[in-house]
Amino acid sequence: MGWFLLLAAAAILSSLYVALVAFLSARYPETHWDWSALDWDDIAFPDGFVWGVAAAAHQVEGGCDNNNWSRWENQTAPDGTPRISRGQKAGRACDHWNRYGEDIQLITELGVTSYRFSPAWSKLEPEPGRFDDDAIKHYHDVLDAMKQAGVTPMLTLHHFTHPLWFEDMGGFEKEDNIAHFVRFAERLFAEYRDKIELWCTINEPAVFAAAGWFQGRFPPGKENAQLTAEVLANLMTAHVRVYEAVKAMPGGDNARIGLVKNIFQFDPSRRYHLADWVVARTFDHVFNGAILACLKTGRFRVRVPGQIAVERDLPGASASLDFVGLNYYSHFHLRSQLGRDPWFRFVERPGDIQTDMDYAIYAEGFHRALVQIAELGLPIYVTENGVADARDDRRALYIRRYLYAMSRAIDDGADVRGYYYWSLMDNFEWAEGYDMKFGLYSMDPATLERKLRDGARAYTMVVQASRELD
């Protein structure tokens, strides 16, 4: 009798397990297309579609030596290893501060008509409340040069870097500090509102929070899950406050303001394994779900039993976007390792085409992300998408597949208005330094010479064809 009950219980439990895994698999499919059976050239984009390239101040300008990253680059980890791969520093970067004229020319030579850039907050506001006239004028000059060249700007207010004084007062760890960011945004808007229509508040809040406070790969180098979610809550609050403050200013109605959301999907390494599902869904909840839900419902909520509990009402969040920016690169596979620290690990999928970053080529995921973000019911700009490929032997494949996926998402109803390739040229890739080559143009850090890569033509050809149909 005892044996019988035990067997019956085991049978019920295993059926439940199987049913749960089947449910999760059906609810969160990991789409894969048979590329050999697809006509990749069958792509089309709406009239007036915006084609552009993206970059960010610290990665290209040079002379950003007064911010959270410049300090980080000069530090070592407690075990003595440098913070940045091989001890590299951003330094003069691509010298874009001085060569912006030439670079805008390079943008026009690609045939694209928009440039997503970020100004350096630390140069503009070197001390709290004191703005630097020369830096303000510099970005006026940059914007004027863009206008003359027929390139429209998209400006990102916060792209991973901020002044040291802001970092020293606790940065986005403290809700009270948000007022400083709002003042910065107001000042920039007052200055440049006649020259810029598209404004992004914050670049990739989840990447910024996770890399800085969970993985310890970005400044301030902490590893604390609860703090990660608190910083995320503050970043969402900052986004909403900037949106509301700018909209209330003269000209605010004409500005189109968005947040840049990076989506990486977290797929279970073993789709039959419940523990892998738990890990993958947990990561998705913190990294993607909490933010998207906050933008829909006006409530930020992250809960991971025993690790994280953050809840905040943000009633303005559900009306804080004129568009949403999507950055998409790839997905990750997660494997559980219960009882170990950490309780998860990232694994590569055999057979995937890898890029130089830990990002496999996965264009189907771009389609998934676009369909998911379209649920917000807003115009979408792809604010970043691109590939690190020093050998330039995967760039064309990447571009063709991802643009196909975007075209298919548009067919499926995603209201995509524009696409910005990351990046115009090779630049300082944060913790990886100059080793990651994302550029359509290569950039030699020694000579600063820029050269169009062969693989970039996959992009310029699509842009050209799409503009001819306009």
Binding site for ligand FCB (CB under 6 A): 56, 59, 203-204, 207, 262, 327, 384, 422, 429-430, 438
Q: Which is nearer to ligand FCB, 358 or 412 (CB)?
A: 358
Q: Are strands 114-117 and 308-313 parallel, antiparallel or unpaired?
A: unpaired
Q: Residue 309's beta-bridge partner residues? A: 303
Q: Which is nearer to ligand FCB, 159 or 417 (CB)?
A: 159
State the Cα–Cα distance between residues 181 and 183, nearest whole angstrom: 5
CB of 434 to ligand FCB, least distance (A): 12
- The per-residue b/e assignment along 362-377, b for 16 or more CB within 10 angstroms, e otherwise, is bbbbbbbbbebbbebe
CB of 234 to ligand FCB, least distance (A): 19
**129 DSSP assignment:** T
Q: Which is nearer to ligand FCB, 21 or 360 (CB)?
A: 360
From residue 219, give the alpha-carbon distance in Å to each of 69, 227, 255.
7, 13, 31
Q: Which is nearer to ligand FCB, 117 or 277 (CB)?
A: 117
Q: Do you know the residue count of the chain?
A: 470
Q: Which is nearer to ligand FCB, 113 or 383 (CB)?
A: 383
- Under the phi-then-psi rule, with left for phi > 0, alpha for psi from -120 to 50, and beta for the rest, what region is 240? alpha
Q: Residue 325's beta-bridge partner residues? A: 260, 381
CB of 87 to ligand FCB, least distance (A): 19
Q: Which is nearer to ligand FCB, 61 or 384 (CB)?
A: 384
**210 DSSP assignment:** I
CB of 191 to ligand FCB, least distance (A): 24
CB of 405 to ligand FCB, least distance (A): 18
Number of Cβ within 10 Å of residue 74's Cβ equals 13
**265 DSSP assignment:** E
CB of 236 to ligand FCB, least distance (A): 17
